[in-house]
Structure 1
Amino acid sequence: MSIRTVGVIGAGTIGRGVAQSFAQAKFEVILVDISQEQLDSALAQIRRDVLVHAMLLGQQAQESAETVLSRIRTSTEYAPLADADFVVENVTENWDIKRAVYEQIDAICRPGVIFGVNTSAVPITRVASVTKRPAEILGLHFMNPVPMMSAVEVVSGHFTSEETLDITRGVLKDLGKEGIVVQDSPGFITNRVLMVTINEAIFCVHEQIASAEDVDKMFRECFGHKMGPLETGDLIGLDTILNSLTVLYESFRDSKFRPAPLLQKMVDARLLGRKSGQGFYTY
């Protein structure tokens, strides 16, 4: 199957990064979001990111940005996805919202079109069960910042076919990324481990064991991490952390996934990290 046009659902931080990555790899992109304002903001951010990247590499910056953007068309409707050869969904970690999206796009997209579920915790087999194409459903866990990451967590659900995995590995290779295949389980590998780590770091701050700065410094200086867990939480978005922990807790019924009270309080206060300008740090 030739993949030339990719549908990207959701124009938030991850969605726009996915759209940018595909457009820079010379795919045609259909970027869909319910908000035109969000779409406009995504295009503006992509333009800035491409310009910065181009200037760092000494390229013709303006031309590069406009060329990339020319490959992205936007819509507040799902109908244009009828032209897509491959779809990546990036909506919020809420099962009711995701289910409604898949029920709609399953009726619009051609048979055989692969749906990549960009999720950190929702089971892929559950998503597949609400479509008429379960063999073409798999997880594609892109991480932020998408254009800079060299690997993607690829999740094989109960019904996912080997052909779907092979095609997806090829698509990711075209993006300059390696697909690392794991089996379907809530949180998969990355988030099952990462969310507990971030949550425990938040508990340490909540219990006044250490400041956010010192917690992160320990991880950077002692373990060689590029970012500490709280810096990582701010980058991902604390609302996304909370949603992921909630899904993990509901899936496993294990208290180790219980969100820290401070995390819930910060999300309630809309202190979400980088995207809101304030989280554990000020941006």
Structure 2
Amino acid sequence: MTTTNGKDAAVEFLTVGEGADARGIAMLLEPPAAGNALAHLVWLGGYRSDMTGTKAVELAALAARLGTACVRLDYSGHGASGGAFVDGTISRWLEEALAVIKHAAGTLGTRRVVLVGSSMGGWIALRAVAELARRKDVEVAGLVLIAPAPDFTSELIEPNLTAAERTALAERGQFEEPTPYGPDPNIYTLKLIEDGRANRVLTGVIETDCPVHILQGMADPDVPYAHAVRLMEHLSGDDVVLTMIRDGDHRLSRPQDIAKILEAAEALARGN
């Protein structure tokens, strides 16, 4: 099934899951130019973001300039995808990302990818590396992690829960928190938090077997820059770059921020 996203790009839907758990995952798959051998770019968005955000669109434009493919998706409960947001977990959204990458392998010929993960998408990218290495059908040529938030449920949310929030989790299975990024509050579920514990990556050495470039704002109110430093300490490879942006916020969506992100993505796509 296809539709349009209002920007002349075809939105396709991939069914992930079976029976009552089936949900339609919205994708934007932009093919490579004929004969182009660069790694394909895969966008993994953050919590409550979608594939039509500024950084995602700019990444797609970069892929078009380079002549390579770009793969974007909305997790279930996000953007144009089906499924309820409150059913979302890291495991569930990882499953969807891997399903879309597998689909891209069949339709776009995707064999090598650069995973570009923003915030929670950085966590999903780190989990996807391990799963793709195990499956051995798509090679990860590099990671670009933008204000990455691995283990954010156990490291950034759980330690800071108020008594009222703990009560809400116990009694209602979720709590709400105001956000400056929109009128609706963020919703954090007990299901998300419990599943997050099973998907932790900051528990030992993280083996990516590929170059990693982390970009982190030092004025980020949501993910402290110390979190990026800690992540870097867990990465085993020598080819890990951490770029600190002194006045950068969590979104890193200013033109100067995006320029740094695209520079990193292009270098990894080219194998530089």
Which TM bucket (shorter chain)? 0.3 to 0.5
Q: Tell me the TM-score normalised to structure 2 length.
A: 0.34
More strand by share: 2
- Name the larger-Rg structure: 1
TM-score (norm 1): 0.33
Higher relative CO (CA 8 A, sep ≥ 6), structure 1 or 2?
2
